[in-house]
A and B are shown apart, each in its own frame.
Chain A
């Protein structure tokens, strides 16, 4: 499986600020996914990041709040903008294994908004 890293691993931020989360993969992948896991909850897909095109957002998530970049096939960023305490969550990226539907997750970024 791919080796996936995320930065930062955790952060504590003030209300109204923005945080950019990085996801790095050790191999080229066509798609990268960003998930949110609120405290004690399941995983919810935020968006699919495709290289060379705009990200595709799921219902309830908008680009102004969660802008995504995908500059190449091994890297993506997710920005959480104008944060509020409700944004406190773990944010995870995932990638498919090769050309299969099997997905592997990065270690996650634990975000706390005060």
Chain B
């Protein structure tokens, strides 16, 4: 089955700096990679996702890059703000044939210091 490794487990940045979280996956057939943000006591919220047919996707201050050859993908947050503080989870799945089962990384606790 799929295995997703996520690093770092904790990350502290100064407000305004950038944050980068990296994930690697094991199944070369995986082709869909979402990122979720979970604030304390709340549900995971999808913030951005990428499919294997593109190498990069941006949405305002967040971006995700994908290297299929190396089997890793990264989340980039620029101009961090205190409200970016949360736990971030990457995930991977082999999309298609009605299969939507996500395998999650262990999470990264991001703290943005004002």
By a beta-carbon cutoff of 8 Å, the part of chain A in contact with chain B is: 30-31, 33, 41-45, 48, 58-59, 92, 96, 101-108
Contacts and interface: CB of A to CB of B under 8 A. Distances in A.
A58 B90 CA distance: 19
A96 B105 contact: no
- Main secondary structure, interface of B, reads loop
B101 A45 contact: yes
Contacts of B42: 107
A101 B43 contact: no
User: Which range contains the number of B residues in contact with the other chain?
Assistant: 20 to 34
Given A33-B101, A43-B104, A45-B102, A103 B89 contact: no
A41 B100 contact: no
Contacts of B103: 45
Given A42-B89, A101-B93, A102-B34, A107 B43 contact: yes
B82 interface: no
Contacts of A41: 106-107
A111 B12 CA distance: 30
Contacts of B32: 101
B8 interface: no
Quick one: which of B42, B93, B101, B103 has the most chain A CB within 10 A? B101
